[in-house]
Amino acid sequence: MRLPEVERGDSFGNRLLIRFISAVSGMRLPDAARVAFYHKNFFSAPLGAWTQAAMRGPSAWSVGERELMAAMVAKWNSCAFCVGAHGAVAAKTMTRPVVDAVLADFRSAPITEALRGALAFLEIMTLRPMDLSADSAREALRSGVTNEALQDASAVAAVFNIITRYADTLNFAMPTAAEFDRAADMLLKRGYAS
């Protein structure tokens, strides 16, 4: 369901800001950014702060690895918008062939065993949360993931299990590949805090 207030802005100032950013960037401001202006104090500021902490805060995982985790959670949740958006950001810091290989099958992709172990844990967390157990964590730790890194990966998955549902509920418009690429540059530069 596309809310008119998200599309155009819920206040005069936000309408002007959305138009300005769209004009300066030369593209329609993506819906993920538009919702950041919607009821900012109630929802988008707290979610933006949580997302910023998970995606850009201190972590053993690189920005690209965390963006790849977000893209995988999106894939498991069938959220094409978030797969495109976070896959594009991951491809800016990794390589597109590696990102595509992980999205196709992380178990055979050319990534570290630790990242593979974390993704296996996040897959259970996302698709079969009732099956997540201490054994799941131990298996991830055996792959070389540290306790702290597993907590960081879990934070990425938790926030993106919410964001992907939010994106699909609000029927985010699908940008072109070129628009995802340009938006990825902005996300790398600005991060997620609104």
Q: pLDDT tens, 133-142? A: 999 999 999 9
Q: What is the pTM of this model?
A: 0.85
pLDDT beyond 80 at 35: no
Compare 28 and 88 and report the one with higher pLDDT. Answer: 88
Tokens of 14: 């936000």
At 34, the pLDDT band (50, 70, 90 cuts) reads low
pLDDT beyond 80 at 148: yes
Domain 47-190 architecture: Up-down Bundle (1.20)
Tokens of 63: 């920005």
At 37, the pLDDT band (50, 70, 90 cuts) reads low
* pLDDT tens profile 1-19: 556 666 666 677 767 767 7
69, 126, 134, 136, 168 from 130: Cα distances, Å: 20, 10, 12, 11, 23
Residue 94: how many other CB atoms lie within 10 Å? 19
Query: Among candidates 90, 139, 134, 100, which has minimal Cα distance to 119?
Result: 139
